[in-house]
A and B are shown apart, each in its own frame.
Chain A
Amino acid sequence: MAYQPPKQGLVGQIVDVFVLLMLTVGALYIPLYLGLAGAAKTPAPIDNPTWEALGQNATEQQQWAALGITDPAAASDIITARFDYSFSWMALIVMTILVVGYFVLVVRLSDREYRDVIEERFGGRR
């Protein structure tokens, strides 16, 4: 006997869409509100920046000028800024477990549902 799903009322449909929307907006905005988002570069300014001290050759100086920056001091922050790639192993392990665990969870639950689908579509096991 094929599975007959219950009929969902209008209110239920709206609630379902709303739940999904709230989840999405939450996932995007919660890290923002907690101030945990984003990677920033930190500049390491040097004293008396000149093009030579910043390691820019003659052609590169021309290029900076064409981009509207003729003063080495103005380019100094852009040139010396670097990312910080230090990370905690703990966080890496948490992330790995989450990603792998997520896929394992989804595939296993899917497989259970999939067997029902195949059974209903093709009939019981031969």
Chain B
Amino acid sequence: MTTASVAASTQQDQRLQLLRVLGPGHVWALGVGIVLVGEYMGWNFSVGKGGMIAGLVACWLAGLLYTCVAMIDSEVTSTVAAAGGQYAQAKHIVGPLMAFNVGLFLVMAYTMLEAANAITVGFLLDAVAGMQGHSGLDQQPFIILTVMFLAWLNYRGVLATLTFNFVITAIAFVAIIVLFLSVQLGASAVQLDFSAITSEPLPYGWLGIIAALHFGLWYYLGIEGTCQAAEEVRSPARSLPYGTMAGIITLLMAATMTWYVCSGLIPWEYLGQAGTPLFDAARVTGNSGLMVLLFIGTIFSTLASANGCINDASRAWFSMGRDRYLPTWFGAVHPHHRTPYRSIVFLVPIALIFALGAPLDQVITFSILSGLLGYTFMTFNMIMFRRKWPLGSIKRGYVHPFHPLPAILLLVLCSATYFAVFLGYGTQLIAMMCFYIIASLWFHFWRYRFVRRGDQFTMPWPRPQAY
């Protein structure tokens, strides 16, 4: 659409909306794009925390957790199609204060993850410069450029942003498959070796498996971000469940292949502390083609992730502004590009504060914890959703099977993960709980007075049961 025609159409109806242009492929790209970076770095700390077997068990347990998340989310979001995603779900199902908290979880989880990605880009370029004999590269300009460029892309329109994400995510995913197949076909100079599984099965015992769950989340963290596209998808009731499910299937395959190749090629003690495990695995094969491919894969996956994070965090911030949970100034849509442009610009310096000022593991833990709080919310959200609007009372785009088993399973796995985070990062957990408690009190006793009560409920649903 040309700028002139957009301007003309906005003058006719005098209402600006986000542009509804996305298909299921873009939803897949948004979900998998944010997450796939977890395969390229981060997941391997789970091997360090519990050994090789614990790494695999954590990979599958976390996979189970996220399958529950994807099913629950698909059902609710195919019904509540709004840009805030889980924020809008909470607002309709649990209540305003919960919604404010969920909005904060989303913005924190994604902004922190974006910062972590930008830090990684700087780190990788420094490593490559080091390999070429240039030591002491200044990482700052590259970190800033990553954030600025992606913010600019997001500002200019959602279709280009997510099409870009689709391409680079697909390349990064194919890189993992190529590595797996080449190693299977004998392209590696060194054989796969799994002897540590028998010689040192569980170096930390069973506790190690629970501890490994902390970083096991990394294989999939962020797949729930598909919901934030709800207002920009052509057919939310169909595309969102489809894109989300395809995404989780992609990730389950990628995660298992990644574990297999990396555990086979890298001694687990090294793997447990490696910065870029898939790239290291390619180095062990001694094949320079694979090395280049996996380097590109690593860069692309970090960019895709940061890009998706900007998209999601700004949607959540925008939705909160629109409802006056935050100043209404943020609830603006760009008249030409149809993006929440003020939120995008506002979140740039925030991401930079974290990317330039805080150590990587802190930022990551903050992100994981915000995500975890969000998953805990989904469990009782789902149960309340089925209670207040039982099947048959409203039209659902997708109905997930075995309710309430997935919700209960999710709650059990979340509790185990809280304990895993507590082993080692207990102080952060407590600091963050204090943060959310203070923020909640601030909202309830101060900020909520500026919110219009009835206007928050925007879905054309019947009255909830028992209210």
Contact = CB atoms under 8 A, between A and B. Distances in A.
Interface in B191-246: 191, 193, 195-196, 199-200, 203-204, 207-208, 211
Contacts of A105: 437, 440
Contacts of B196: 60
A39 B429 CA distance: 13
Contacts of B273: 41, 78, 81
A24 B48 CA distance: 30
Contact of A106 (B97, B354, B434, B438): B97
A35 B350 CA distance: 23
Contacts of A82: 203-204
A120 B96 CA distance: 14
B94 interface: yes
A8 B25 CA distance: 41
Contacts of B419: 92
B453 A55 contact: no
A26 B366 CA distance: 12
Given A106-B98, A110-B96, A6 B449 contact: yes
A44 interface: no
A73 to B, nearest CB: 14
A52 interface: no
A102 B436 contact: yes
Contacts, number: 208
A114 B350 CA distance: 31
Contacts of B456: 117
What is the size category of the interface that chain B forms with chain A? Answer: 35 or more
Contacts of B207: 85
Contact of B435 (A5, A23, A95, A120): A23
B270 interface: yes
Interface of B: 48-49, 94-99, 101, 108, 189-191, 193, 195-196, 199-200, 203-204, 207-208, 211, 265-267, 269-270, 273, 280, 283-286, 324, 326-327, 329, 350, 353-354, 357-359, 361-363, 366, 376-377, 380, 418-419, 422-440, 442, 444, 447-454, 456-457, 463-464, 467
29 contacts: A13-B327, A16-B327, A20-B442, A21-B350, A27-B366, A28-B366, A31-B427, A31-B431, A38-B361, A63-B266, A66-B285, A67-B284, A82-B203, A85-B211, A91-B422, A95-B433, A98-B434, A99-B429, A99-B433, A102-B433, A102-B440, A103-B376, A103-B377, A105-B440, A106-B101, A113-B95, A114-B94, A114-B96, A115-B467
Interface of A: 2-3, 5-6, 8, 13-14, 16-17, 19-21, 23-32, 34, 36-39, 41, 55-57, 59-60, 62-64, 66-67, 69, 75, 78-79, 81-83, 85, 87, 91-92, 94-95, 98-99, 102-103, 105-107, 109-118, 120-122
